[in-house]
Amino acid sequence: MTVFSFTVVALLALACPSMAFDMGQSTRCVPIPDQMKICKDVGYSEMRLPNLLGHSNVELEVVPRSEDWRPLLQSGCHPQAQEFICSLIAPVCLDTFIQPCRNLCVAVRDSCAPVLACQGHAWPEVLNCDRFPAQEDTCLSPHPKLSHFPKDLPKPACQNCPEVVNSPAKKTVLDALCQHDFAVSAKLYRRRQPMGDPEFEIDGRVEFIRQGPLLPYDTRHLLQQWLLINLRCADTLVRPGRTQLYLLTGSVQHDGSVVLTRLFPWHKKDANITVATRKWRHHRC
């Protein structure tokens, strides 16, 4: 099952929950199981069931549904996305339910809904922010923004899959380096997860051919986020269990989003890519 089809099934299940949660019904506290990996480091060890999505069976509902959220959380779409999702599927075991505040839901939705939209899905109705309380002492609110966080870091764009050029001529590579804002070489890695959901990573360092506006300390993370946001494209670029070296060229748009424009698979036999990247240091466009 591909990432895309897995996400379709997951969101259909989330859009039609089997039962609506009644805040007045009796509940019980259970340990957060080890299999529920996305909520194992949220700062508490027990959750209250049924949870705020109406799930009561750990093995048949809670753990499988928690896995549905993993691709979205891996994208890093919002710093409190995990906290928000886990407050619903694994609410902390206190005397009363601590729901997320409406403004936290809105903040996460506004950042993460575009990632879902990139994959062809709307924000699930079960997470309609109107269902959550306005900000008050008994709900989970957004963390204050930290003033030292960089405000203008480039962000990965949701886009159509860029052109993949196999066995390019030297001039083709040099033209791409001239026409676009940056060029890097990076190894894309695809690891198959136990539940059949591939995970994409940048393996090792990212080497700059043309740095342009990219930031050295942020580029590896930026490219990894691009893969996780553009899952359907990533699915075509690397086979399961394989690592593929690419020369990637791209541009930074006016809104700060990073678009990849051309991808050159860089195999050992591709001498033209090697020659072009070495000649680039002294090349005049």
Task: Quick: pLDDT tens for 113-126.
Answer: 999 888 778 999 98
- Predicted pLDDT at 75: 85
Q: What is the mean pLDDT of residues 19-48?
A: 81
How many Å separate Cα 149 from the centre of its chain?
20
Task: Using pLDDT thresholds of 50, 70 and 90, give the confidence band for residue 14.
Answer: very low
Strand runs labelled E in 50-138: 99-100
**Among 24-38, 75-89, 111-125, which range has the highest average pLDDT?**
75-89
**Among 25-34, 142-151, 165-174, which range has the highest average pLDDT?**
165-174
CB 48 within 8 A of CB 29: yes
What's the burial of 59, exposed, middle or buried (CB within 10 Å: 0-12/13-18/19+)?
exposed
Percent of the chain topping pLDDT 70 = 86
Domains of the chain from N-terminus onward: 3-140 (1.10.2000.10), 155-282 (2.40.50)
Q: What pairing do the DSSP bridges indicate for beta strands 198-210 and 182-192?
A: antiparallel
CB 170 within 8 A of CB 176: no
Q: What pairing do the DSSP bridges indicate for beta strands 99-100 and 139-140?
A: parallel
Neighbours of 162 (CB within 10 A): 17
Where is pLDDT greater, at 284 or 135? 284
- Does the bond joining 31 to the residue before it have cis omega, within 30 degrees of 0? no
* Residue 39 reports pLDDT greater than 80: yes
Instruction: Identify the bridge partners of residue 199 per DSSP, sorted by sequence position.
Output: 191
Q: What is the mean pLDDT of residues 140-154?
A: 64
* Residue 149 reports pLDDT greater than 50: no
Q: What is the mean pLDDT of residues 143-164?
A: 74
Task: Using pLDDT thresholds of 50, 70 and 90, give the confidence band for residue 20.
Answer: very low
Task: Quick: pLDDT tens for 191-219.
Answer: 876 654 557 899 999 999 999 999 888 99
Distances (CA, A) of 183 to 85, 170, 217, 236, 279: 36, 15, 15, 21, 14
Closest CA to 65 of 22, 121, 142, 126: 126
Q: What is the mean pLDDT of residues 69-81?
A: 88
Q: CA 278 to CA 75: how far, in whole Å?
A: 34
